[in-house]
């Protein structure tokens, strides 16, 4: 693939703008400066550098983000900044979008991609991808609440009770729930139906992919092949 097309694909602007970056010797390929926009580059395992920043060639931009509070999972937010504003402009130019949504005040693991197939697979209700949440509750948790969440609670506008796939008390006011659905405000509504209230909510895991301990709020990283396997996804 021509070098200028690689840059354009990765969100560095129009082909004219990408050509200018290359002509001004701001682009290196595998550590070597290249000033030829039309050079044919092998993209297999490619690492290219733009203005001192390394970028891996990625056919699709798929990443994980540690979502902090105060951000909306929308490309057109209404009341708070978009979670996409935490990403480099080059990724935003690729039209990435969150896979599913977390509420503005919910924190934790969020997946973002421009891969439509990955988004569809992980969002599909038929796949029942498990997601683990840690909820902080207003009132102390008791066994009755655990039993209700495991057996199923009836939510407004839902024809049948909805149950957690797993639920355990990890502290007097801490509850860890595993859900396989993605209904609107599901954790908060289920806990409320069981007689308590969620004061804070954090997503720890999607599939078998856990939020890394060293990924701080607001930070992101690329999804690796190992991460994809933990999500149960293969292209």
- Taking a C-beta distance cutoff of 8 angstroms, is the pair 125, 162 a contact? no
Q: 147 CB contacts (<8 Å, ≥6 apart)?
A: none
- Taking a C-beta distance cutoff of 8 angstroms, is the pair 153, 193 a contact? yes
SS3 content of the chain, % helix, strand, coil (to 5): 25, 30, 50
CA-to-CA distance for 228 and 233, rounded, in angstroms? 5
Q: Which of 42, 54, 103, 115 is catalytic?
A: 103
Angle between the N-to-C axes of helices 143-151 and 186-193, in degrees from 0 to 180, rounded to the nearest 10 = 120
Cα angle 107, 57, 90; round to 5: 55
Write the DSSP string, 127-157: T---EEEEEEESS---HHHHHHHHH-BPPTT
Q: Is 214 a catalytic residue?
A: no
Handedness of CA 141, 142, 145, 146 (dihedral sign): positive
Residues found in the chain: 235
- Taking a C-beta distance cutoff of 8 angstroms, is the pair 209, 64 a contact? yes
Which residues participate in catalysis according to the annotation? 103
């Amino acid at each position: 693939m021509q070098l200028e097309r690689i840059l354009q694909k990765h969100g560095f602007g129009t082909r004219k703008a990408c050509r200018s970056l290359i002509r001004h010797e701001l682009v290196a390929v595998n550590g070597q400066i290249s000033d030829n926009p039309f050079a044919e580059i092998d993209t297999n395992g490619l690492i290219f550098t733009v203005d001192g920043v390394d970028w891996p060639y990625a056919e699709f931009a798929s990443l994980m983000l540690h979502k902090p509070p105060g951000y909306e999972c929308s490309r057109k937010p209404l009341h708070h900044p978009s979670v996409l504003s935490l990403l480099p402009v080059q990724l935003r130019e690729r039209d990435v979008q969150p896979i599913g949504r977390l509420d503005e005040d919910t924190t934790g693991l969020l997946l973002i991609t421009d891969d439509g197939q990955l988004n569809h697979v992980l969002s599909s209700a038929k796949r029942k991808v498990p997601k683990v949440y840690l909820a902080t509750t207003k009132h102390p948790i008791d066994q009755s609440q655990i039993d209700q969440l495991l057996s199923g609670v009836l939510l407004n506008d839902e024809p049948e009770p909805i149950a957690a796939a797993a639920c355990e008390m990890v502290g007097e006011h801490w509850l860890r729930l595993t859900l396989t659905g993605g209904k609107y405000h599901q954790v908060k509504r289920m806990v409320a139906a069981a007689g308590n209230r969620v004061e804070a909510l954090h997503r720890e895991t999607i599939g078998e992919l856990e939020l890394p301990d060293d990924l701080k709020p607001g930070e992101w990283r690329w999804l690796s092949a190992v991460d994809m396997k933990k999500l149960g996804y293969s292209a």
